[in-house]
Each structure stands twice: as C-alpha cells, then as structure tokens.
Amino acid sequence: NAGVTQTPKFQVLKTGQSMTLQCAQDMNHEYMSWYRQDPGMGLRLIHYSVGAGITDQGEVPNGYNVSRSTTEDFPLRLLSAAPSQTSVYFCASREVTSGANVLTFGAGSRLTVL
C-alpha cells in the first residue's frame, strides 16, 4: 500500500514554462486535493476533487489547472509558471463515504521558478 505518491520531488522551471505535478493514490479515496506550503503561511488549498470528473477551486486557484479522469490520479498543471509559484506542493486524499475525515499526504514536490 503506497498511499499518496507525488512526482517529481524536485523541479526547476523558467518563467513561462509549463509543467504537470503528478499525484496518484491507491487507497480508492474519493477526495483528492492540492496544497501549496509557503513559509509563515501554512498550507493553502489550490484545487480539490470529490470524485472522477468533479473538481472545484480552493483558496489560491489562479495559475493552476486540474482534472480528475480517474479515481487514482489528480494532476496539477501550471500553464505558464511564475516566480510566485515557487513553493512546496502537497497532494492529499481522504475517504469520504466512511466519514473518516483524515487527510493522507504525499511527500511533497518542491518547485522553483526562475
């Protein structure tokens, strides 16, 4: 049981480049989400999904796109990277139907935009 797997762990981009952060979970969790972590600001929700084909915006969605074509995967796309998107990104999932409420986090992806 691998839990939540994020790739890549590290990435350096130039301003204007695009990339996709991958997130996969093998726990059959309905809910998946992306957070960014910045010093002194905690974790801020970017986008989340409550099931395949359903996504919604979080607190800081601008500059990011998501899609959910399968239960297992929830990629985060940066269409035109900006230095303000330099951050550590975390994917998290949770089971919804049992009401467990506990988020399971991936190990994180550190992104630097030059």
Partner 1 sequence: AQSVAQPEDQVNVAEGNPLTVKCTYSVSGNPYLFWYVQYPNRGLQFLLKYITGDNLVKGSYGFEAEFNKSQTSFHLKKPSALVSDSALYFCAVRSPDSWGKFQFGAGTQVVVTP
- Assess contact for 29 and 98: CB atoms under 8 A: no
Residue number with CB closer to partner 1 (14 or 101): 101
Residue number with CB closer to partner 1 (30 or 73): 30
* Interacting residue ranges for partner 1, rule: CB under 8 A: 4, 31, 33, 35, 40-45, 48, 50, 56, 58-59, 90, 92, 96, 101-108
Work out how close the CB of 60 gets to partner 1 at its nearest, in angstroms, rounded to a whole number.
12
Which residue, 96, 90, 102, is CA-closest to 43?
A: 90
Work out how close the CB of 17 gets to partner 1 at its nearest, in angstroms, rounded to a whole number.
24
DSSP state of 84: G
Work out how close the CB of 105 gets to partner 1 at its nearest, in angstroms, rounded to a whole number.
4
Q: Which residues contact 95 (CB under 8 A, 6 or more apart)?
A: 27, 28, 29, 30, 31
Residue number with CB closer to partner 1 (17 or 65): 65
34 φ/ψ angles, rounded to the nearest 5 degrees = -120, 135
